[in-house]
Amino acid sequence: MTSALVTGGAGFLGSHLIEALLKKGYLVYCLDNLYTGHLSNLEKVLDRIVFYKQDVQNPLPKVKVDVIFHLACPASPVHYQKDELFTINTSYFGTYNVLELAREINSEVIFTSTSEIYGDPVVHPQSESYFGNVNTLGPRSCYDEGKRAAETLCYIYHKKYAVPVKIVRIFNTYGPRMSLNDGRVVSNFIVKALRNEPLTVFGSGEQTRAFCYVDDLIEGLLRIHEYKRNFEVFNLGNDNEITVNKLAQMVIQLTGSKSHIVFNQSLEDDPFRRRPDLTKIKKAIGWEAKINLEEGLKKTIEYFRSVLTCES
C-alpha cells in the first residue's frame, strides 16, 4: 500500500488532500499542531488515518512513507503576521525537518510553496523562471522570504542528497473549510456578504487575482506527485484573472446580499497583479483548472452559509 505523510493536514488544503489520498487507497499519516488547522476538518476521516498533534518545527516521527506532502505553515496574512518569527521558523526549520526525514527514509517531498515568492511582480503573468520582486523588510516578508528560503533548502537537499523534490507554487485557492477569520479576500467577502455587512476593498480594487477552486488544486497536487521527475518546480492555480472589485460584485450578487462596497487604503506590499503562467504544467502533465469562478463561489457560499447557520 502506498503511504503518505501530510504536514498541515488538518488545514484547509491538507484536509482535502487527505480525503483525496484515502480515495486513492493510500495509508495516510497526518501531522498538525492545530495552530490554524482544526480536527473538525478531518472528522469524516479521522478514524482512517494516523494523526500526530505536533509542530513541524520539532523532529518528525520516524514513519516510513513513500511521499511527504509538506503543507504546514500559516498561509493567510492574518495568521502569518500574528507571530512573524513563528511563521519564518515554520517555513525554514519545518522544511528542514521534512527534508531530513525524507533523506533518512528515501521519500519524495512535495513542497507547497506560494505565489507570494514572486512578491509584487514586474513580470506578468508569472512563470516559474521569474525570480520575483519581494520586499525583505515588509509585513509579508516573514511568509514570502520564509517560503523562498524553504525552496532553497529543497534545492540543496536534492542537489546534495538526491532527495526527490517537487516545489509547487500555489496561487490563490478557495473553497469549503476556509476559516471564517483567515483574512483572505474570498472568505472575507463571502462572510461579510452573508452577514449583510460592508465589503472592504483595499486600494482602488483594480488589483487582480486568479482564483482556483480547491478540488482542481488537489487534483493538480496529485498529478504532480505522479509526474516521473526527481526535481521540478510548477506553478499551480487558475489563470483566469479578475479584479477585486468584480469579485466583490460577484459575491454580493451570488449571495443575494444587501451589502455594499467600501474602500480603504492599500495594504503595504500587496501585489497589484497576480496570475500564473501555467504553460509548463499544462505541457508537462496536461493539467488545468476546470471549475469556473461562479461555480466554485456557489459551492463556497453554500459551505459558509451552513457554518454561519450552525453558529447562530
26 in active site: no
Q: Which helix (H) or strand (E) holds 262?
A: strand 261-264
Select which of 118, 143, 174, 213 is catalytic: 143
> Do the Cβ atoms of 66 and 107 come closer than 8 Å?
yes
Would you list the DSSP string of 131-187?
A: --B--TTSTTHHHHHHHHHHHHHHHHHHHHH---EEEEEE--EE-TT--TTS--HHH
What distance in Å separates the CA atoms of residue 144 and residue 132, rounded to the nearest whole number?
10
From 293, 169, 280, 152, select the one nearest 221 (Cα to Cα): 169
- What type of residue is 235? N
Q: Assess contact for 13 and 217: CB atoms under 8 A.
A: yes
- Count of alpha carbons within 13 angstroms of residue 183, beta-carbon side: 12
Q: Cis ω on the peptide bond leading into residue 125 (within 30° of 0)?
A: yes
Q: Per the structure block, which three cell numbers stand in for 301?
A: 457560499
The helix (run of H) or strand (run of E) holding residue 226 is: helix 214-226
The sign of the CA dihedral 131, 230, 31, 304 is positive
Quick one: which of 31, 37, 168, 173 has its CA closest to 112? Answer: 168
Angle among Cα 91, 145, 71 to the nearest 5 degrees reads 30
Location of C-alpha cell 497526518? 30
- Catalytic amino acids? 143
